[in-house]
């Protein structure tokens, strides 16, 4: 299958009080046509910055190295109308819809402002898509303002706005974080069903390995601005290759296992600019050795996935004994 998104050795540094600070380092990731890929990691790992890099929504004076290609087009080379066209065709579904919908304009205004057709035709199309994403009484909703809708309905409006662009690639940046658990499940079911029906590719950002496994074909795990592991979601959930992935899975509460205490990862998450020489996860890793501190491991093929750990094969052999 052809890659609709291809990120190759992406590095991003941002200006700070003491100079430029790295926030992404050598990120490589691809998504095929119709494929859903999850991007998982703790806060500050670089997940959202990766999404913003794809559509060039970076702060002024950001320095970008490496390449990002969407359907073969080099994103870094786009300017003006071409860049606006890219952003229109690669919509981002953000985690807080209230921060991204104008509160003084109606839902109908928000949905139809980019549609190039008559007002009546645009409203008809917007109402149809609202029906598709599970918004009841769509015609009435078009006349309402954002404050009149619940968080779950507003997130469905955000999904509808993304689908109105008829994209081939969706970027979903933790789209259910601000919702209660029941509404989260409903919104994810709608998003996953529509993605499959339309054959869309999706990059799905989440903290939840289990949720990524449920809705994504493959999952990539980030830490300190780097990709640590990429695997088929089911394999990654059952047989993680990287100690960080294994630690994340162990720290998640489960109804299937009993424990006196919830497992935790010692220390705190590091940003890319705080990462030491060698493996960035080394200071928190239970399996760290001197070889882990000597150089920063590259993402490399292991088994049916990719991993950035010099002890991956050794640890896999131990876990299977």
The pTM assigned to this predicted structure is 0.91
Edge-first strand listing for the sheet containing 73-74: 19-32, 3-16, 63-70, 73-74
Q: Yes or no: is domain 3-91+165-254+263-319 CATH 3.30.1330.90? A: no
Edge-first strand listing for the sheet containing 300-302: 92-93, 169-173, 201-206, 36-40, 218-223, 226-232, 305-307, 300-302
Residue that is written with structure tokens 């493959």 in the block:
218
CB atoms within 10 A of CB 226: 27
Tens-digit pLDDT profile for residues 222-246: 999 999 999 999 899 889 999 999 9
Q: Domain boundaries in the chain?
A: 3-91+165-254+263-319, 98-164
Pull the structure tokens for residue 158.
């955000």
In Å, how far are 41, 94, 313 from 284, measured between CA atoms? Answer: 14, 30, 20
| pLDDT one digit per residue (tens) for the chain, 321 residues | 589 999 999 999 998 877 889 999 999 999 999 999 999 999 889 999 999 999 999 988 899 999 999 999 999 999 999 999 999 899 999 888 888 889 999 999 999 988 877 888 999 999 999 998 989 999 999 999 999 999 889 999 999 999 998 899 999 998 887 778 888 888 888 888 889 998 999 999 998 888 898 899 999 999 999 999 999 998 998 899 999 999 998 887 776 667 677 788 999 999 999 998 899 999 999 999 998 998 999 999 998 899 999 999 888 876 655
Tens-digit pLDDT profile for residues 274-291: 998 899 999 999 999 998
């Amino acid at each position: 299958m052809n890659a609709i998104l291809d990120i190759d050795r992406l590095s991003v540094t941002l200006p700070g009080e003491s100079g430029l600070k790295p926030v992404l380092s050598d990120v490589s990731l691809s998504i095929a046509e119709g494929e859903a890929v999850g991007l998982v990691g703790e806060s500050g790992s670089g997940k959202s910055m990766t999404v913003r890099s794809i559509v060039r929504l970076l702060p002024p004076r950001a320095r970008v190295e490496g390449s990002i290609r969407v359907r073969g087009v080099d994103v870094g080379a786009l300017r003006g109308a071409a860049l606006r066209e890219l952003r229109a065709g690669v919509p981002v579904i953000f985690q807080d819809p209230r921060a991204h919908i104008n509160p003084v304009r109606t839902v109908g205004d928000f949905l139809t402002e980019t549609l190039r057709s008559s007002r009546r035709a645009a409203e008809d199309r917007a109402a149809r898509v609202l029906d598709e994403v599970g918004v009841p009484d769509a015609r009435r909703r078009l006349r309402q303002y954002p404050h009149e809708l619940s968080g779950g309905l507003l997130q469905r409006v955000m999904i509808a706005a993304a689908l109105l662009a008829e994209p081939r690639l969706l970027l979903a940046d933790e789209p259910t974080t601000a919702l209660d658990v029941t509404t989260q499940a409903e919104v994810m079911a709608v998003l996953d069903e529509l993605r499959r029906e339309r054959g869309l590719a999706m990059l799905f950002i989440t903290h939840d390995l289990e949720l990524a496994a449920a809705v994504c074909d493959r999952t990539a795990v980030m830490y300190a601005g780097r990709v640590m592991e990429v695997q088929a979601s089911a394999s990654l959930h059952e047989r993680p290759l990287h100690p960080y992935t294994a630690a994340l899975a162990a720290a998640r509460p489960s109804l299937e296992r009993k424990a006196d205490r919830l497992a935790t990862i010692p220390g705190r998450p590091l940003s890319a600019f705080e990462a030491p020489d060698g493996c960035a996860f080394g200071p928190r890793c239970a399996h760290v050795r001197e070889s882990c501190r000597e150089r920063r491991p590259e993402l490399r093929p292991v088994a049916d996935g990719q991993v950035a750990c010099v002890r991956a094969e050794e640890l896999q052999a131990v876990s299977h004994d």
